[in-house]
Structure 1
Amino acid sequence: MSNKSGFQAMLGAKCPQCRTGNIFPVSPFSFRKLSAIHHTCPHCQANLNPEPDFYYGAMYISYAFSVALVITALTAINVLVEEPELWMYLTTVVIGNLLLFPAMLRYSKVLYLYGMGKLKYKGD
């Protein structure tokens, strides 16, 4: 078992039960296999897919991430640029969403699994 805190395990996209095994087969920042999740933890064999379509609820978290990104980008442009034009807003939001899409999608699934997955940490 791992000595990682729950927060460190979430950041590393590790299994909520052992905090060692990876939830995703590739890096959370990778554009490959965006929706792929291990069905069971490679380390402790915990079920990471508790029911069919379990991760549909993560769409709400992903949406919240996108809204937060848009609000942050628009606020930053308003503060940094004296008279911003429409293309600045659109370009910033589109590029930001494209670059951060894999991380937002995957971390929404991680947060949903930790919050709703009913897997508890089994420490040493």
Structure 2
Amino acid sequence: MLKKGSKLNSILTGSCPRCQEESMYVDQNPYNLKNIYNMHENCSHCGLHYQIEPSFFYGAMYVSYGLTVGIGVAVFIISKLILGLDLITTFIAIIVGLIVLMPITARISRNIYINIFVGYDKEATKK
């Protein structure tokens, strides 16, 4: 489904953006909240250092903000405009949706952020 070498593949799978051979995360389950942000230091396949600079992933907070706004708007449209729920129920649905999707949003925002700066390198997959 997802073509290896595409940024979308790396973003959705959480794989190394350079070689896409292994997961960046120690625990692949984002709902294991104890290990949600635990990442490998480097890719064991191509050697990419994931923390490009100190506090690199603070920038992912801005990406996360955009994602949560998008999710909130989508849940609002679905619950209020499509399902016709009242305003209080709609806001409860938004809050529940954001809480349930928080681990995925946190990981996806990190994946998007590192993929902005690191691209796929076909030669890195041969190492």
Q: How many angstroms apart in 2 are the aligned matches of 1:48 and 1:28?
A: 19
* Between structures 1 and 2, the one with greater helix share: 2
For structure 2, list consecutive stretches of 5 or more residues without a partner in the other structure: none
Q: How many angstroms apart in 1 are the aligned matches of 2:31 and 2:42?
A: 20
Cα offset, 1:36, TM superposition: 1.5
Q: Secondary structure at the match of 1:37?
A: coil
What is the TM-score when the length of structure 2 is the normalising length? 0.83
What is the TM-score when the length of structure 1 is the normalising length? 0.84
For structure 1, list consecutive stretches of 5 or more residues without a partner in the other structure: none
Percent same amino acid at aligned positions?
Answer: 23
Residue correspondences, number = 120
Alignment partner for residue 61 of structure 1, among 63, 80, 88?
63
Root mean square deviation, CA, Å: 1.9
Q: Secondary structure at the match of 1:47?
A: coil
- Native 8 Å contact 2:10 2:115 kept in 1: no
The residue number in structure 1 matching 2:100 is: 99
The residue number in structure 2 matching 1:19 is: 20
Cα offset, 1:17, TM superposition: 1.4
- Range with bigger deviation, 57-66 or 5-14: 5-14
Taking structure 1 as reference, are residues 86 and 31 closer, same or farther at Cα in structure 2, changes over 3 Å only? farther
